[in-house]
Amino acid sequence: MSQQGERPAAHEDDWWRRLYDETAADAGASRAADSLDDRFDSASAAVGPAGPGADAAFPEPPHVAPADGPPVSPPPPAVPSSAPPPPPLSAPEPPPPAPVQFVQARAPWEPPVGPTRPSTFVTPPPAKPPSVAEASPVPVEAPTTASVPPLPRRQVSAKREAPGARPATPLPAAPIPGTAFEPPPAPAARPGLSYVGDRPPTYDAEPTALPATVPQELDGLVPDTVLDGARYGTYTLRAASVRGDSARFRGEPRRDALLTVRFGAAESALVLVAVASGARATEGAHLAAADACRWIGEAVGRSHLRLSEDIRAGRRGDLKSGLHRLTDRSYGKLRARAVERGLEPEEYTAGLRCLLLSADPACRTRVFFGVGGGGLFRLRDGVWQDLEPDVPDAGAMTGQAVVGFGSASPESRPDRDLLTMDLGIATPPSLYVESPPPPPAPPFRFRASVARPGDTLLLCSTGLAEPLRGEPALAEELAERWTPQEPPGLAAFLADTQLRVKGYAGDRTSVGVWEA
């Protein structure tokens, strides 16, 4: 039937056969919709009403109950209205199509669109399968739907927020000076110097030979380097002992010994740092240094409660006399060990220098004591101060003359020797000593000082004290490295201790205390 309501001369089903004739040749690829639903919609539009005679030409079929279901009641009669009734259809009209979305389809053999470099993003959740209308490469026009603008060709998000999540605030790509997003400045790099002075040292900076030993002396082996550290109260402790360049070259053991130990706990805890240096050109010097550190550690450990109380109370006199006795006992053991080994006392001895530090944050008293050479320095406001206690020279004569060594008696008169006559001695005493007196004992050194915030206290052996006093470049370099408030790490402190100087190749042991 045509749109004018006329009945066609041909059979009324010819249009259906022509539309779904399977023997007809394929017309080829076309941009027109070619699905089953699309053809149904096209056929429905072709046979739609076009005039008042449409109802007469296609009467409404009667309602018949399905064979396998309940009977269907006929619909109620239509209410007459001024608008013309809708035309009957042979099938129910499908719902209007969904809004059109242009989706760029890509065949498997086609290259992807966009940059080929890798990108990192969160994989989106699987999307809902699109409907037939959405999957079609050509949009389906609907008379009741307004045209929708095309979506972007491709949109890739670097990060997808979860449903209901709070959107993240974007940050600037680069820090802007003067804003809250500017990162803190990076710490200045430490200089990569291996030596100071006009010329490089003679020996290599790394070990070249190991000390010779025998199976019976494995307990006496000394490592090339010792490194330690701690933090208590208001101070940070760094300690390092390194074998000298000459000993590394000759394969000799390190003569310096280092002991860092803590006694007690909480505020009454006491930290002891002992540095000992064995005598030069003597066999077993490293063993004597180790014995000196061990024995002074045992003596301090037995009296650590009393020492901790004296330090916190500021009893300087009690500390000096008590530590003097502990040091003498340790050296007495060294002399006894020398006799056991068949050596002279001066052949089995060591210089000993110690620091006592309280763990109480309210106590800033730092106590130094010891015997022998070395150095005690303080770095304050970028300037080194030599705190080594003054002691008289070994050959200096001090005090009054001793009776019996040529001095006159206060009661003697020029005409006679009352001292000789009273004792009944026929001959006066000789003016000369027949046997030389024993060598004087090394003087005991003691110093107690109160540290200030920002101070750096340095206790070192002779191997570092001598170049620190003799080479201004070394003192300036270490002052520049240790002036910042933050103390160096263990590795950085070891590198600073190994800063070499031409002409100084001995063992180096240093103990640094940084005050917060």
Encode pLDDT of 457-467 as tens digits. Answer: 999 999 999 99
pLDDT > 50? residue 155: no
Task: Name the pLDDT band for 4 (thresholds 50, 70, 90).
Answer: low
170 vs 38, residue with greater confidence:
38
Torsion angle (degrees, nearest 10) of CA 250, 291, 324, 507? 20
Token pair recorded at residue 514: 């940084």
pLDDT > 80? residue 488: yes
404 vs 200, residue with greater confidence:
200
The predicted model gives 503-510 an average pLDDT of 93
The predicted model gives 105-126 an average pLDDT of 53
Task: Name the pLDDT band for 129 (thresholds 50, 70, 90).
Answer: low
Task: Name the pLDDT band for 130 (thresholds 50, 70, 90).
Answer: low
Task: Name the pLDDT band for 119 (thresholds 50, 70, 90).
Answer: very low
Task: Provide the mean pLDDT of the chain.
Answer: 74
pLDDT at 213: 86
228: phi then psi, degrees, rounded to nearest 5: -155, 165
The predicted model gives 370-392 an average pLDDT of 90
Highest mean pLDDT among 7-16, 88-97, 483-492: 483-492
Specify whether the CB–CB gap between 443 and 390 falls below 8 A: no
pTM, two decimals, is 0.58
pLDDT at 38: 76
> What is the 8-class DSSP label of residue 443?
P
pLDDT > 80? residue 270: yes
The predicted model gives 89-110 an average pLDDT of 57
pLDDT > 80? residue 148: no
pLDDT > 90? residue 350: yes
pLDDT at 400: 46
pLDDT > 80? residue 499: yes
Lowest mean pLDDT among 150-154, 199-203, 287-291: 150-154
Task: Name the pLDDT band for 242 (thresholds 50, 70, 90).
Answer: very high
pLDDT at 22: 58
pLDDT > 60? residue 380: yes
Lowest mean pLDDT among 23-32, 59-68, 155-164, 280-289: 155-164
The predicted model gives 316-336 an average pLDDT of 94
Task: Name the pLDDT band for 484 (thresholds 50, 70, 90).
Answer: confident
313 vs 213, residue with greater confidence:
313
pLDDT at 196: 82
- As a whole number of angstroms, the distance between CA 214 and CA 197 comes to 40
Instruction: Please write the tens of the pLDDT for every residue from 40-98.
Output: 777 777 766 544 444 444 454 455 455 455 555 555 555 555 555 555 555 556 666 66
Highest mean pLDDT among 32-46, 94-108, 189-203, 495-509: 495-509
78: phi then psi, degrees, rounded to nearest 5: -70, 145
Task: Name the pLDDT band for 138 (thresholds 50, 70, 90).
Answer: very low
pLDDT > 60? residue 456: yes
pLDDT > 70? residue 324: yes
115: phi then psi, degrees, rounded to nearest 5: -65, 145
The predicted model gives 101-120 an average pLDDT of 54
pLDDT at 410: 46
pLDDT at 140: 39
- As a whole number of angstroms, the distance between CA 223 and CA 87 comes to 106
Residue 297: its H or E element: helix 285-302
pLDDT > 70? residue 262: yes
pLDDT > 50? residue 237: yes
- As a whole number of angstroms, the distance between CA 324 and CA 371 comes to 10
Distance, CA of 93 to chain centre? 72
pLDDT > 70? residue 411: no
Instruction: Please write the tens of the pLDDT for every residue from 426-437.
Output: 555 555 555 555
CATH code, residues 224-390+445-515: 3.60.40.10
- As a whole number of angstroms, the distance between CA 306 and CA 181 comes to 54
b/e code 87-105 from CB counts within 10 Å (16+ = b): eeeeeeeeeebeebeeeee
Task: Name the pLDDT band for 171 (thresholds 50, 70, 90).
Answer: very low
pLDDT at 438: 57
Angle, vertex CA 134, rays to CA 129 and CA 137, nearest 5:
125
